[in-house]
Amino acid sequence: MDRFEGYSAFVTGGARGIGAAVVRRLHSEGARVVVADVDDSAAREAFGGVRGVSVVRCDVGDAESVAAAFAYVREELGGLDVLVNNAFARDAMDSPRIEDDPDGGWREQLHVTLLGAVRCARAAMPLLAAADGRGAVVNIGSVNAEAYFGNHAYSAAKAGLASFTRTLAGEVAPRRVRVNQITPGTVATRAWESREEQLAALAARVYPLGRVGTPDDVAAAVAFLASSDAAWITGTTLRVDGGLLAVNTHFGEVLGQP
């Protein structure tokens, strides 16, 4: 299936984890993909030499870095059809008590996780609007935006991203650009390395479908929302969370429900 034959895509945070899975999925369906990551050496290690995939260093927290990355897109690809905002501030995800929660972590999350997506959307929009109705933005959110799972600043930034998804969808719809969001639950990435017992406990006790997610689960959903299969979908959030937000597993356990 080549839903993205002739398409160009830009994926932030594409060197590892969910971002890398998105790159592989879009490329496997025919897209030319630019992998944008602050760790461009890791991106080159993952995708160097793959025909149709190029790498550009991009720090979404830096406006000049974003501008340079999209200048590269215009020069190398000539246009853009799909933007996937996946990058976030990984180093600011500690979850202390609120009285011990410094401003620095909040600034980092808002500056990178939220404003990073805004910067990329701003830079990409003229290209997406010129894509003859194929332009699509897919933001990677989190269940943290909708319920308490710790990490105040990260959760607030992702909630802001959900709001931005809706408002941007309204603004750019007349230009035939669609904007949607994926809301993943727990996904087995490097953030969970050496925590296999915790992942197993989450799968058994918390997730109704009996497992945590994989990067490929998220990538499949991104590919759907970015494709013409979702041509009449904009401003929506698609939960890819194994039923986490819809079903209270512990409530059922207390009541003795199967």
| Angle of the 40-47 helix axis to the 17-28 helix axis, nearest 10 | 40
Catalytic residue flag (residue 7): no
- What is the rounded distance in angstroms from the CA atom of residue 96 to the CA atom of residue 78? 45
Catalytic residue chosen out of the listed positions 7, 72, 148, 154: 154
For 166, the token pair is: 């809706």
Q: For residue 123, which amino acid is it? A: A
Q: CA dihedral defined by 232, 233, 235, 240, rounded to 10 degrees?
A: 180
Catalytic residue chosen out of the listed positions 7, 72, 158, 207: 158
Catalytic residue flag (residue 148): no
- What is the rounded distance in angstroms from the CA atom of residue 165 to the CA atom of residue 7? 22
In terms of Cα–Cα distance, which of 1, 241, 70, 248 is closest to 140?
A: 241
Q: What secondary structure does DSSP assign to 229-243, as a single string?
A: GGTT--S-EEEESTT
Known catalytic residues? 154, 158
